[in-house]
Structure 1
Amino acid sequence: MKTAADIIKSNSNRIMKSWEDRVKNEISASQISSNLALRNQLPNVLDDISEILTRYDGFLEVERNEKYNEIIKNSLDHGRHRATSSHYTVKQILQEYVIFHRVLTEVLEENEVYSKEVGIVLKYTLETAMLTSASSFSDSLQEMREKLIGALAHDIRNPISAAYFALDIIDPEDDKERIKKLKSMGLGSLKKALELVEGLLDAISIKAGEGITLNFEAIDIIEEIKWVCEEANQIYLNEVILQSNTKDSFGVFDGTAIRRVVENLVTNAIKYGARDEPVRVILEDSHEEIVIRVHNEGESIDEKHQTEIFEFLKRGRETDNSRLESWGMGLTIVKSVAIAHGGKVDLKSTDAHGTTFSLSLKKYFNEPGKVRTKLNYSEK
């Protein structure tokens, strides 16, 4: 079997190229990915198979031996990656491995090194990879749903709390203007809560590579930001200060999504920032885009975590940083909303200058209407 392993190593590029061509011809979801993204962890799986074949020279009963389980990590990562790739299904992942098996078999037969023993090793290693990738794919989708629903459910608390506060402090003896203002605030918060409930129901049906549905319309985005700051000042002890270089900022935005994003950043700034320092929301408007910055003083975020903090699937289920994990799905949504607006999100965090999240949004990147976002934009 050492010879078969050597053939696989020397023909690895050819094997991957043949696999790519067949996959793109037979699996529709693969056609929207670059070659690098499509290959993902499969070259590593190929290396694993080659190493396993080398170890089993002389042949042992592979079905009773657990040494081929080293293939699990790379096939697990492959499944998680496919969960962030649009239109993939479990069936298509299994089909990828079937094609992979066929290509390997053809190359080994062509070089006259395919045998019963080699075939059994391929069978058990690839069955392990198939089951692991399929399970990882399904688990990752379920994880996305659970975290997205959890994030949405959490976000509903703020407008409901604000509505409760506004309605609770209404006094029949108050003057009409105060009652009218408090009633308007309460009803406005409940309306926003209902909008979030719609997103909650929508999240239940997400598929691979999908995130929340955004509803773009022509609005003044500053009104949404003002609402967030006013609501936060009612709920939290930290002062939330809004600074803007303009009185209005019109564009085509999803106001509900941007409001949720800013609420998330403000809530985190208060939760993780210095208790006695204000949180600043700074809005800078230019001709083509707006930039929203949320700044807090206090303990910084470790530099090595400042990129992965936005992608919970890339981190996996476990992390050695409890603070990082507690940011949950919220920052993943922040990133997906920014990119859906043709923008990006940046993070700068130091002990000397505090933490600043910057959200840039193109003002006319979208036409009015609904668009379903992605949750993971690690592919290029």
Structure 2
Amino acid sequence: MNIQKWWEKEVIYQIYPKSFKDSNADGIGDIKGIINKLPYLKNLGITSIWLCPIFKSPMYDNGYDVSDYLDINPIFGTMEDMLNLINEAKKINIKIILDLVINHSSSFHPWFKEALANPSSKYRNYYIFKKSLNNKPPNNWRSVFGGSVWEKVKNEQDIYYYHTFHKYQPDFNWENKNFRKDIYKVVNFWLEKGIAGYRVDAITFIKKDQDYSSLEPDNKINDNLVSCKYKTLNRHGILNFLKELNDNTFKVYDAFTIGEAPGVLYENFDDFIGNNGVFSTIFDFKYSDPQLINGDWFKFKKFDYSDWIDKIINSQLKLQELGHSIVFLENHDQSRSISKFIQNQKFQTLDNAKSLALLNIFLKGVPIIYKGQEIGMKNFTRQSIEEFDDVESISKYEDAKKKQFKSKRST
């Protein structure tokens, strides 16, 4: 008999702090602003808050580049503010879930700065450094944000460091046992402060094929590179790392975890969720992004509603075979649901927004509501690339220009 876990009845509200509630009129949302809105959130009926990154960061990737996991970004507040949020939320039975970014850090993290300053430091092996190959980068892998995954180390001949995403986001070396011990301390630090769990970012990228061999270029943008995903996404051996992570952190505190786990097929879900899984549940993007071509956020197509419904049903059935699912229609990485799923703008009405809300709530699983979704917020149109504060959008725009797209098409 399956015993119901505490988190299976949660209703989660996702907050992107920077644009939520500003308490001091500086134009940036903050932790005190979230505290001020707790009565509103309680009245809304939510039981948990998932906060996008609030740790110290230079904000090249909006906080997904952490320079200090144990302190708060001053644009959002202080450690005292954060502890107050945890305590005030607890008083009204609302739990706090944090975003955990441990595939990579910021290049401004003390570990990486020491790794650059002293090649003999133990922190050198906390990251991935390789020698050049015939005066070229070690291989031809393309980063998720475009360009090579390798960045030349200044003042060192023929040495590069690895980044799956931006050059300011060097990847951790999960093969290093000492690193793993230290990152588990980071994870447990916040669990001991009283948070209820984590949304674990980009976690299926932590295991790289150790041969680091080049592949045939995929010629997507005529750069002679190939997507790093073929050698770094959900690779053989990753479960050893994830099981050790779970055993040393989440399981100890009975924490709730949502894995952002791209690359996991339905037939492998039982390794990731369920009674023997490494996470409480994981996101299933197959139904939440029906307009994307092969999961590429910047390649769109019109989708068929009957196919979308089939994807929803299939997701529900597959996840319920193993455990409990997450139900979501939008988040910080995606379009607003009313703009995404109702393709004809004249039908993007309040009534249809309510219909999507019913879908979000009444499907089986733990629902996540993204801030503003409850009032039917839509996408808005930007006029130029300068209006974007998103490293991937800017990178894809630059790739489009390299393809010699006309400026209008690039935007």
Is the radius of gyration larger for structure 1 or structure 2? Answer: 1
TM-score, length-normalised on structure 2? 0.24
Structure having the higher helix fraction is: 1
